Amino acid sequence: MALLVHKYGGTSVGTIERIHRVADKVAKAKGEGHSLVVVLSAMSGETDRLITLAHEVTKHPDEREMDMLLSTGERVTIALLAMELRGRGIDARSFTGRQVGIITDSAHTKARIARVAADRIREALKQGVIPIVAGFQGINEQSDVTTLGRGGSDLTAVALAAALKADRCVIYTDVDGIYTADPNIVPAARRLDKISYEEMLELASLGAKVLQSRSVEFAAKFNVPLEVQSSFTEGKGTLVVKEDADMERVTVSGVTGDRNQAKVTIVGVPDRPGIAARIFGPIADASVLVDMIIQNVSQASLTDMSFTIPRADLPKATSLVKRIAKDIDAKSVAVTESIAKVSLVGVGMRTHSGVAAKMFEVLSKEDINIMMISTSEIKISCVIGEKHLQQAMRALHKAFGLDGKAPKS
């Protein structure tokens, strides 16, 4: 008998019919004698719908109020599943983030978990009740509702699994595991039987939304046994595990793409010491995460500085950067949203050379221009035109030998 945390994502609870199927799975696990905690997302599309509503009310919605609004999506699904289970004679109870005691900082819409009390969950488990927990939400020290960033129900599940020392945290979703690339973009992608926390963290941070990156970070830190499975079909999924010796033999484990980036260029920046700090200091103070930075060769003591930021931060960043440009006597500011980042990830890159060169060659053969490059020990990313992303991902997937063979283990 094990203690399991099950998390069902938006598509898995997207209709009443699907909620019935989740109830079937929960009933089955209970029937097998397991103790179970269930974490749910809002119905698919609901969080987006709420965000659109907010923007119809005002251009820059207040972030505290945004969290109040967004947290409602998950309340709907937890109540419906608990009702359904109780209707079947299974003792289940729904709990909000506040009731679970998920305490976060006050960074509304992207709050970080500070601690998880989970007293009521332990109590429920002791009484044989199945707790059905609202994902994605917590409260700050003032008891204001916070949310954990998009995809944050994964984090709720992992954090609860860590707090309860669960035997396994299973993320049920609309694909049957973690693939060498998003199977909806690269049809030749293959399901992996296992992947290291480190590689999954890179993939998730670089755009593979099958797991929220913070949830992977948390799972690695607290050694949470994590698995991704399909909520629609039975069968094997993917285990996220500690790195083992096999993994280094494969140079590239996955290809991923990210469309949620934007590029900002400050044109005609005076090239003198201290300028970079004057540009990036205020941007960091505004909590805008800068990813890649490129400074062009200086001509006549003037240079161009380009950098990428999350697309969602563009409105905030543009007005700020325009102010900075004026302060430092730069000529102008140019902004483009039509970029994307394509990345290769693999722990094998530590021991294999030539990956970057091959990546550039593949992109060049596809006639795709590279605007920016960044590398770390186990990843290489290139910024390219957004319209080329799918083509780039497919070509790289093929060139690095990832196209469909027998599943890699």
Would you say 12 or 71 has its CB closer to ligand ADP? 12
List the one residue from 135, 138, 151, 207 that touches Mg ion (CB under 5 A). 151
Asked whether position 207 contacts Mg ion by CB under 5 A, the answer is no
Asked whether position 177 contacts Mg ion by CB under 5 A, the answer is no
Given ligand ADP, ligand ASP, Mg ion, none, residue 47, with its beta carbon under 5 to 8 Å by kind, binds: ligand ASP
Given ligand ADP, Mg ion, ligand ASP, none, residue 138, with its beta carbon under 5 to 8 Å by kind, binds: none
Would you say 13 or 355 has its CB closer to Mg ion? 13
Q: Look at the block and give the residue holding tokens 């957004």.
A: 386
Binding stretches for ligand ASP (CB under 6 A): 9-10, 41-42, 47, 73, 135-136, 150-154
- Can you name the residues that pair with 265 across neighbouring β-strands? 306, 334
| Least Å from the CB of residue 135 to ligand ADP | 9
Given ligand ASP, Mg ion, ligand ADP, none, residue 358, with its beta carbon under 5 to 8 Å by kind, binds: none
Query: In terms of Cα–Cα distance, which of 76, 90, 117 is closest to 34?
Result: 90
Radius of gyration of the chain (CA): 23
Given ligand ASP, Mg ion, ligand ADP, none, residue 210, with its beta carbon under 5 to 8 Å by kind, binds: ligand ADP
| Least Å from the CB of residue 39 to ligand ASP | 9
| Class of residue 60 by CB neighbours under 10 A (exposed 0-12, middle 13-18, buried 19+) | exposed
Cβ atoms 341, 308 nearer than 8 A: yes
Please count the residues of this chain forming the interface with Mg ion, following the rule CB under 5 A: 2
d(CA 261, CA 264): 10
| Least Å from the CB of residue 234 to ligand ASP | 23
Residue length of the chain: 409
Cβ atoms 112, 159 nearer than 8 A: no
Binding stretches for ligand ADP (CB under 6 A): 9-12, 41, 151, 173-175, 178-179, 181-184, 203, 208-210, 254
| Least Å from the CB of residue 37 to Mg ion | 18
Would you say 131 or 151 has its CB closer to Mg ion? 151
Encode 289-326: b = buried (16+ Cβ within 10 Å), e = exposed.
Answer: ebbbebeeeeeeeebbbbbbbebebbeebeebbbebbe
| Least Å from the CB of residue 323 to ligand ASP | 31
d(CA 324, CA 318): 10
Given Mg ion, ligand ASP, ligand ADP, none, residue 73, with its beta carbon under 5 to 8 Å by kind, binds: ligand ASP
Given ligand ASP, Mg ion, ligand ADP, none, residue 182, with its beta carbon under 5 to 8 Å by kind, binds: ligand ADP
d(CA 372, CA 382): 6
d(CA 47, CA 74): 9
Would you say 47 or 303 has its CB closer to ligand ADP? 47
Instruction: Bin 143: left if φ > 0, else alpha if -120 < ψ < 50, else beta.
Output: left
Residues that bind Mg ion (CB under 5 A): 9, 151
